[in-house]
A = this chain, B = another copy of it.
């Protein structure tokens, strides 16, 4: 037993996990868990639902209290205590009591930094009624503002996870909500054509969205209302503004101590050790390996923070655990819609200069269509075209998206290919899936692409004069179709195939993609070059579809 002394600065996910794991590995260590806020180990993921009332009371939020840490783990919890400086040579940390300002020194053998991230706040004037949301006190303040000021309208600035969860919960409380987002889409981890499903659902749920329009100014009107003026000159008035434009890593303490920083956050190795061998760092402020392509990323997610905390504890105890990286699996519930992604988006692949990837879209039901309650979901799967290696996936739907994105996340973690998805043997009964699960279908479609049997086209690449063939039934065609498309229903294709000869490559589509695939196979085998437009007419960006 080592009797080492470990200080952990920051008591939320990564820090608290590290502390508990340390104790289980080393009964003799002295462990202090230090946080400047009033709480440790709280679940900030629950805060939007606490504001919305789904989680009724503050005491329903999970809080590991200091007594439990002391009794169960023999860990000293020091809340209201801020670490203001590290003397690496002397191995001491200067702590400041937040209420009294009194400072003290604390020595360490090992120091763990888990400082987290803080909400980004542009240099706007501080106005009453404008809130960020990161801590329990933040959420209590928003709740009190709503209870006392009874605002009828709110503007949420930022259309990411927290912004949309807030929009959902504010509507649940009866407020009219406008979401203002600088990007031209909500949910930045998704590609825009997948985010379009979310945007349509927001509109259908009564939320106004102002996309592609940054905030220029935030003001108070004479009547006490807040006024959000956008770059395009629009003005949105509300009694409450929630600022949810992201977080920035809290790297100040590490930087002032001279620890190496990367372009994005505190630099650590696979054992979560910083450039100082006595200091580890975990959580939202740390730059780690992006697990798919191997770049460096900072991802503020609770699950990876917990894993990092355990790895740091192992490392402090001399164990060779390593953190494998972050693949960015995330989910958000928006008015009953599940929005989830894992791995890299198409945007991220393009940004990273990756070539040779392909994508497929599909719209399967979450379970057998003949069983009551079947609901479609929209899936996008990204993969290496030459090898089939899975690079990322996105899903949007009312049910079962969590399960399918989780499965693909596991396959990515194991360096799986689309063939592995096609071959996956999954739970099937009519109320739980399909004999071909959505994940199987995605894998089968993509495997056909990798094997060269299923050449694809995509709606985001405009046609260059190709014949566009709609193989749906006549009544489907008449309800809406690509301008100039030829309609030959699949059942007539073999008998009318000669009509399609001599026109060069044919771009085929149907409603969702399956009939288009069969048609493409027929055309190719008859010597007619053809590609199937992935996802079919059900895609939001079909040519001629956009308003």
Contact = CB atoms under 8 A, between A and B. Distances in A.
Contact of A55 (B328, B340, B370): B370
Contacts of A188: none
Contact of A45 (B24, B413, B424, B430): B430
A24 B521 contact: yes
Interface residues of A, number: 89
Given A54-B371, A411-B410, A331 B27 contact: no
Interface string A403-414: 101110111011
Contact of A427 (B310, B406, B416, B433): B406
Given A73-B518, A301-B428, 20 more contacts: A27-B522, A43-B430, A45-B428, A45-B429, A55-B372, A62-B368, A62-B369, A62-B370, A71-B490, A303-B425, A307-B423, A326-B425, A328-B425, A329-B427, A406-B406, A406-B426, A410-B410, A410-B414, A410-B420, A413-B424
Given A54-B372, A416-B414, A426 B453 contact: no
Interface string A324-337: 10111111110000
Interface in A100-155: none
B370 A61 contact: yes
Interface in A416-474: 416, 420, 422-433, 435-437, 440, 444, 453
A501 interface: no
A351 interface: no
A430 B522 contact: no
A522 B23 CA distance: 9
A342 interface: yes
A402 B453 contact: no
A22 to B, nearest CB: 11
A491 interface: yes
Contact of A432 (B61, B301, B338, B423): B338
A536 to B, nearest CB: 16
Interface in A345-395: 368-372
A1 interface: yes
Contacts of A424: 409-410, 413
A288 to B, nearest CB: 12
Interface of A: 1, 13, 23-28, 43, 45-46, 49, 54-55, 60-62, 71-74, 161, 165, 291, 301-307, 310, 324, 326-333, 338, 340, 342, 368-372, 402-403, 405-407, 409-411, 413-414, 416, 420, 422-433, 435-437, 440, 444, 453, 490-491, 494, 515, 517-518, 521-522, 525-526
The 7 nearest A-B residue pairs measured at CB: A71-B491, A27-B525, A331-B427, A414-B414, A302-B435, A403-B403, A329-B425
B329 A435 contact: no
Contacts of A406: 403, 406-407, 426-427
Contacts of A73: 518
Contact of A303 (B62, B331, B371, B435): B435
A330 B428 CA distance: 6
Contacts of A54: 371-372
Given A303-B425, A425-B327, A428-B303, A521 B27 contact: yes
Nearest to A27: B525
Contacts of A338: 432
Contacts of A521: 23-25, 27
16 contacts: A23-B521, A24-B521, A25-B453, A27-B521, A45-B430, A46-B430, A60-B370, A73-B518, A305-B435, A306-B436, A326-B425, A328-B425, A333-B431, A402-B432, A402-B433, A413-B425
Contact of A435 (B23, B306, B371): B306
